[in-house]
Chains A and B, each alone.
Chain A
Amino acid sequence: MKNAFRIIFVGTALLVLGACSQGVKLNDNGPAVSDQSTPAANTDSRAVAQVNVDELNNPNSPLAKRSVYFDYDSFVVKDDYRGLIAAHARYLQAHPTTHIIIQGNTDERGGSEYNLALGQKRAEAVRKALSLVGVADNQMEAVSFGKEKPKALGHDEASWAENRRADIVYQ
């Protein structure tokens, strides 16, 4: 439990510290928490297998936020998302076998292939931001849905803004 709390604390601290997150090394967290390990069969009837609650499932964790929104015709990850990026970076560094897909999206205006490339630019921007704070390339894949899988189905600015987005999806 101690480890799990500590990671949440580090994540929260990074939310405040912002860019300082780059200075935090992976081994500062101590041994990685293995959340996904299934308790091994043990013949010792008195053994206790520890299971750690995965903070990915904690709705109050900064990790619960997984969408990065973009301005119109923009591919820049805004400063507002520095904390979100740092929190996911910390988690991924502590869980080197965990993989994410970053799914880029666009609003409905324009051609399907050009929008696919624009969505890719957004996914790629998030991937680069995570890479810059130390996430290994082999833990991430940036893909695009373009305008093909809109979250908001309206044809107005509110829907378009909702769809100018990249989502971090844990595998």
Chain B
Amino acid sequence: MPNQTTLRSIATPFLATLFLALAIPAANAQLHVDVQGVGGTQIPIAIANFAGDATPPQDLPQIVRDDLSHSGMFRTVDAGVAPISDADLIDTGAWKSRGADAVVVGSATRTADGRTTVRFKLYDDVKGQSLGGLELTANSPRDLRLTAHRISDFIYEKLTGERGVFSTRIAYVVRENQNRYLLQIADADGQNFQTALASKEPIISPAWSPDGTKLAYVSFELRKPVIYVHTVTTGQRVPVANFKGSNSAPAWSPDGRTLAVVLSRDGNSQIYLMGVDGSGLRRFSQSAGIDTEPFFSPDGQSVYFTSDRGGGPQIYRMNVAGGDATRVTFKGDYNISPRISPDGKTLAFVSRRGGKFQIFVQDLESGQELQLTDTVKDESPSFAPNSKMLIYATQLGGRGVLAAVTADNRVHQRITSDQSGDVREPTWGPYIK
């Protein structure tokens, strides 16, 4: 539960721009995060070093500090180098006078069977009380990062009232060159990536299944666009749409049972619905031009999509049960790539204004829009599962990189990679149970 007293006591809008260049050690190729801007409420928090014998190889408290400061909602206060255990008595008043409205202490100990047990406690220094903690077990060093992200999620939720997304994952495509494409999955902070698919031909439009176990995407490995469903843990891949013509833009229904796909089997690109196993194909949209980029509303009742039925591309909505399409975007003559926030309140899309492709959000109830990016080639917005942040693809120094922005436009992150090539087509995965 959010601690409203704590929030109010520290809710001093801090509008100066903060620029954090965080040097993350690059043992192998990684993504790096730069943050610009801060949240309206920035909570000063101290994350002490953890006691115990199991700090390396992953510096848990540092991962938590990075998570929280990258979110723009927290400012980390120096906690000194001495480890402080969850078993120690904490003088919250002393932490308050050091400028920390919250403090986190903990321990990491290795068990006889090689696993690591991590315990931590979070204290509200303003009210002088514990906000609880967790005991987590990591089975491997790779798991330790997930453990750290779970700690960050706990802190974020206790202090902001919103569910954290640090333990979620992103998928994206790396175009190393014109002959090598990688579909990769990484932690939400861009670290810890793994390659799910390597191909000589392009890969586009990855989309997570609602349970986070599968990715649907478009691969050109058969010298034409074909839709595959790929089980991430096993690598098993099934071509679910390989009809005559092009097959693209897969989107999952919220119950994970239906895919909306775009097929050109009957001429121009139109939207069809089908079972995830390829069964029960039926045409969904009917227009003489292009209907593409379907995206289900979170209630599963409607599908938003891009259509040029009125001339230039605009975003429309249609009920899954049938009926006419309703136009949703009106400003600008090129609006594409609709994505609906998981809370169902906001539409994110790409709009071309003055020759620049930029990310906008539109409140679905009021129709009011907000421009989130001001660069020139922004694509593929994707909401975090808590609806508070979006990841998207942009250009930096002629290279494709990922960036993230809060839906209220306050905090901007740039995620750069020391891998060669372009990083593109990001998609933010769901909460992992």
Contact = CB atoms under 8 A, between A and B. Distances in A.
| A interacts with B | yes
Interface of A: 101, 109-114, 116-118, 120-121, 124, 141-146, 148-149, 153
The 7 closest A-B pairs by CB, nearest first: A148-B202, A117-B269, A143-B224, A117-B290, A117-B292, A111-B336, A144-B246
Contact of B268 (A114, A121, A146): A121
A110 B332 CA distance: 14
B425 to A, nearest CB: 7
Interface residues of B, number: 35
Interface string B386-429: 00000000000000000000000000000000000000110000
Contacts of B350: 111
Interface string B266-297: 01110000000000000000000110110000
A116 B268 contact: no
A112 B205 contact: yes
A145 B220 contact: yes
Contacts of A141: 224, 244-245
B127 interface: no
Contacts of B245: 120, 141-143
Interface of B: 178, 202, 204-205, 218, 220, 223-225, 244-246, 248-249, 262, 264, 267-269, 289-290, 292-293, 306, 313, 334, 336-337, 350, 352, 357, 379-380, 424-425
Contact of B225 (A101, A114, A118, A144): A144
A84 B290 CA distance: 27
B313 A114 contact: yes
A21 B204 CA distance: 40
A44 to B, nearest CB: 42
A35 B218 CA distance: 36
B422 to A, nearest CB: 11
Contact of B293 (A114, A143, A153): A114
A118 B357 CA distance: 17
Contacts of B244: 141
Contact of A143 (B178, B246, B290): B246
A141 B268 CA distance: 12
28 contacts: A110-B334, A111-B350, A113-B204, A113-B306, A114-B292, A114-B313, A114-B337, A116-B225, A116-B249, A117-B262, A117-B268, A120-B245, A120-B264, A120-B268, A120-B269, A120-B290, A121-B268, A124-B267, A143-B223, A143-B224, A143-B264, A144-B225, A144-B264, A145-B202, A146-B225, A148-B202, A149-B220, A153-B178
Contacts of A110: 334, 336, 352, 357
A117 B337 CA distance: 13
Contacts of B249: 113, 116
A43 B289 CA distance: 58
A124 B334 contact: no
Contacts of B334: 110
A143 B225 contact: yes
A36 B380 CA distance: 45
A146 B290 CA distance: 13
A119 B218 CA distance: 15
A70 to B, nearest CB: 15
B336 A124 contact: no
